[in-house]
Amino acid sequence: MFASASPQAGRDPWSDETEPAGFPPPRSGPGFDDPVGPRKRRPRRSGGGGPSVYSPEEDDEFDDEEEEEEIEPVEINQRLSLTVAGFAALLGVGLVLGAQTTGPGHRLPFAVVIFGVQLLFVLAWTMATRPPALLAVAGVAALTAVAVDTVAVRAAEPGLSPLLYVAVAAFVVALLAQLVRPADRRRLTDSLGTTGVIVAGVTAFATLIPLGRIPAGTQTITIALTATALALAVARITDALLPWPRLAPQVPRGAAGVVLGAMLGTLAGSVLGSFLVGFTPTSGALIGLVTAATAVLADLAVGYAEAGRLMAGEPPTLWIARHMQGPLGGIALAAPTAYVVCVLFL
């Protein structure tokens, strides 16, 4: 060993405690390795019993499963579905029989029947939707029914234009009635659709009167309302027996009833078209298909609207009014549809 060599030879002068000048001290720990701190990682099992492997996608899937809440499907009341089916059938039969009483000089009896149905519509929809200034809206809708029925009976030529004018005026009056009280004014924007639906539904029923005054109009009413009532009844009966597949957990309706109702309504229209003068199975099937499909979809839309109100926290209203909404809304929408089909295609 050379005399000049020491035990410290060959070692860096900063290896023990000192640090080289101009260099920061080394950093370690969670603050250096992971700026956001330690994370809880869930292992994912690999196939074949191998070691677990971490995957970032596993965290996202696990969090989604924890946040997602299971929604229990609403139970379907079989007796209630059968009762609504019977109401739809009786409503259609009453309107068909009332249409047979109309004639060139005898329009008033059918107008009285339609007015009774319009009052049922106003009662059901105002009680179920609860628009602001409920009594005022219901009163305006009832007066609208009287006005449109009178115009439809006394008009020199059958048409929809006079009815539309009355409907627009009634809608404006109903909105003005909701501006009287400050509490009603705050809900005016939300009630525009509800008020419009009530006024439009009352006017829609009145379109059956001018339809009965045009050639082949009474036969069209017979085919359309028979197909509509049958489609609504079959859809509800199917919901009571086979509500599958469920369209939504919150809506007690099944897709099988909607499809089967529209199909049987089309079949009924085709059968009636083969017996009525001036119609063929094809024309009857066309009327039945359009009106039946329109009615069952309107009935289904009412169910979705009711489920939306309940999910929004609104208290349930009179149960009989809620369940009358669907058939009344379906037939109300089928009436002007039948008029348009008769004028354009027959």
Q: What is the DSSP letter of 74?
A: P
Higher model confidence: residue 197 or residue 52? Answer: 197
In this prediction the pTM is 0.78
First to last CA, the chain: 122
Is there a domain that residue 71 lies in? no
Cβ burial, residue 19 (10 Å; 0-12/13-18/19+): exposed
Q: How do residues 41-98 score in pLDDT, each as one tens digit?
A: 444 444 444 444 545 554 555 444 444 456 778 888 999 999 999 999 999 999 999 9
pLDDT of residue 192: 83
% pLDDT > 70, the chain: 79
Token digits of residue 40:
């809880």
Number of other residues whose CB lies within 10 A of the CB of residue 255: 14
pLDDT of residue 181: 76
The radius of gyration computed from the CA coordinates of the chain, to the nearest angstrom, equals 35
pLDDT of residue 56: 52
Q: How do residues 262-305 score in pLDDT, each as one tens digit?
A: 999 999 999 999 999 889 999 999 999 999 999 999 999 999 99
CB distance 292 to 265 below 8 Å: yes
pLDDT of residue 104: 67
Residue 236: which domain range?
A: 86-345
Is there a domain that residue 24 lies in? no
pLDDT of residue 116: 96
pLDDT of residue 74: 84
pLDDT of residue 183: 73
Number of structural domains in the chain: 1
pLDDT of residue 131: 87
324 pLDDT more than 50: yes
Is there a domain that residue 69 lies in? no
Is there a domain that residue 58 lies in? no
pLDDT of residue 48: 47
107 pLDDT more than 60: yes
Is there a domain that residue 40 lies in? no
pLDDT of residue 269: 97
Higher model confidence: residue 340 or residue 47? Answer: 340
% pLDDT > 90, the chain: 55
DSSP string, 124-143: HHHHHH--SSHHHHHHHHHH
pLDDT of residue 226: 97
Mean pLDDT within 220-224? 96
Is there a domain that residue 47 lies in? no
Is there a domain that residue 130 lies in? yes
CB distance 232 to 296 below 8 Å: yes
pLDDT of residue 55: 53
Is there a domain that residue 315 lies in? yes
Give the angle 275-90-212 at the CA atoms, nearest 5°: 50
